[in-house]
Amino acid sequence: MTNAIAPCAKTSKQTGTAREFSKREFGAVLAAIRSHPNAEDLNDLTSLILSTALIPEVISGIRWEDIDLAERRMLVRSASPHSTAVSLDQPLLRTLQNRRQKHPNDEYLLDSACLREAAVVLSALSREACGREATPNDVRKGTLKGWVRCSGS
């Protein structure tokens, strides 16, 4: 499998800008993610994006020491001296508990290598689902548009 990630959308010939995914395409991509049996990292990444709307680059910096499962809270650090506490809804809490149980020695929730691999799987799944390649940021854009409710429900 290659680490190269293809562009996320076709380019409009008139404007030269990438065409965003439609709501139907977004739904098809999410359905493909949820039904894929071997996409654990991608499913976990998708759950995080759908619940928090965090960008993948921020997610890759979250360490397990920043997550308090008992208090249902995650600390998100930024380049500034300030950090943000994010409340964990029940579906995301279950996702994180399962991930911690499967990966007890990991320092990061999802490290850069996991994110790259998840992006490659997402690209292939979205190509199959709707004929276009998607990135984790495309999933985030759909979340911000309100096409899914929290936790992808």
Q: Is residue 17 part of a domain?
A: no
Residue 148 is predicted with a pLDDT of 59
Residue 105 is predicted with a pLDDT of 95
Q: Is residue 15 part of a domain?
A: no
Q: How far apart are CA 68 and CA 86, in angstroms?
A: 10
Q: Is residue 5 part of a domain?
A: no
All residues at 6 or more sequence positions from 126 whose CB lies less than 8 Å from its CB, including other chains: 28, 29, 32, 132, 133, 134, 138
Find the domain containing 90 and state its range.
Answer: 23-152
Q: Is residue 31 part of a domain?
A: yes
> Any idea which residue has 């395409």 for tokens?
25
Residue 77 pairs with which residues in a beta bridge?
Answer: 83
Q: Is residue 9 part of a domain?
A: no
Tens digit of each residue's pLDDT (9 = 90 or more) over 31-90: 888 888 778 888 898 889 888 888 888 898 899 999 999 999 999 987 777 888 999 999
Supply the CATH number for residue 85's domain. Answer: 1.10.443.10
Q: Is residue 75 part of a domain?
A: yes
Tens digit of each residue's pLDDT (9 = 90 or more) over 100-112: 999 999 999 998 8
Tens digit of each residue's pLDDT (9 = 90 or more) over 113-135: 888 888 899 899 988 988 888 88
Residue 14 is predicted with a pLDDT of 41
Residue 138 has pLDDT above 50, yes or no: yes
Strand-strand pairing, 67-68 and 83-87: unpaired
Domain count, the chain: 1
Q: What mean pLDDT is reported for the chain?
A: 80
pTM higher than 0.85, yes or no?
no
Q: Is residue 125 part of a domain?
A: yes
Tell me how far CA of residue 112 lies from CA of 10, 15, 108, in angstroms: 26, 33, 9
Tell me how far CA of residue 49 lies from CA of 13, 45, 137, in angstroms: 30, 6, 9
Q: Is residue 138 part of a domain?
A: yes
